[in-house]
């Protein structure tokens, strides 16, 4: 006859151990996706540092807290015209853009698409609502021959 302690040991089910489990193929190295950092690109480090400031300024223009002409040097003519048309329509409808609370950028995500293209995605709050904004930037030469990030597309909602 078995003792109670032996019976417990035999019937006890092995609990899985928390922590890392071995991969089923111990002779092969695991394939883990890792983010690609392209800091060697021209202007990429500067882009990461300044993207928050640029998006905050753009959000303030959309909210009516800043004039659009302050961003004219960093926007393509198409984007600038689109922005001015939007602000003109808002002014004609009589919507009071200024609510006493400034638009505030909450998060920014930078994605380098290529050597000379980047996309920014951000979330901002204005008048108690959370909104999204996406920006396409291209690295172009300005009239002085210096490389500069230029906003070529903007989508907000």
Q: Can you give the pLDDT at residue 36?
A: 45
HSE, CB side, 13 Å, CA atoms: give it for residue 81.
Answer: 3
| Residue 45 within any structural domain of the chain | yes
| Residue 112 within any structural domain of the chain | yes
Q: Can you give the pLDDT at residue 79?
A: 94
Q: Can you give the pLDDT at residue 34?
A: 41
Burial 9-45 (b: 16+ CB within 10 A, else e): eeeeeeeeeeeeeeeeeeeeeeeeeeeeeeeeeebbe
| Residue 50 within any structural domain of the chain | yes
Q: Can you give the pLDDT at residue 112?
A: 85
Q: Alpha-carbon Rg of the chain, whole angstroms?
A: 27
Domain that holds residue 72: 41-94+102-156
Max Cα–Cα distance, the chain, nearest Å: 95
| Residue 151 within any structural domain of the chain | yes
Task: Identify the sign of the CA torsion 58, 62, 68, 74.
Answer: positive
Q: Can you give the pLDDT at residue 35?
A: 41
Tell the burial category of 123 from Cβ atoms under 10 Å away from its Cβ (0-12, 13-18, 19+). middle
Domain count of the fold of the chain: 1
pLDDT averages per 10-residue partition of the chain, 157 residues: 52 51 51 46 66 90 89 93 89 64 84 87 87 92 86 90
Q: Can you give the pLDDT at residue 24?
A: 53
């Amino acid at each position: 006859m078995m003792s109670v302690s032996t019976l417990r040991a035999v019937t006890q089910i092995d609990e899985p151990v928390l922590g890392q489990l071995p991969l089923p193929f111990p002779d092969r190295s695991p394939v883990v996706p890792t983010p690609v950092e392209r800091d060697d690109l021209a202007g990429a480090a500067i882009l990461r540092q300044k993207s928050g400031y640029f998006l905050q300024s753009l959000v303030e223009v959309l909210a009516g807290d800043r004039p659009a002409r302050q961003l004219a040097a960093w926007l393509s003519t198409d984007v600038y015209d689109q922005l001015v048309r939007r602000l003109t329509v808002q002014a004609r409808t009589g919507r009071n853009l200024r609510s006493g609370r400034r638009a505030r950028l909450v998060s920014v995500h930078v994605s380098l698409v290529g050597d000379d293209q980047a996309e920014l995605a951000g979330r901002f709050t204005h008048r108690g609502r959370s909104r999204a904004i996406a920006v396409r930037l291209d690295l172009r030469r300005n009239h002085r021959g210096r490389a500069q990030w230029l906003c070529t597309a903007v989508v907000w909602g």
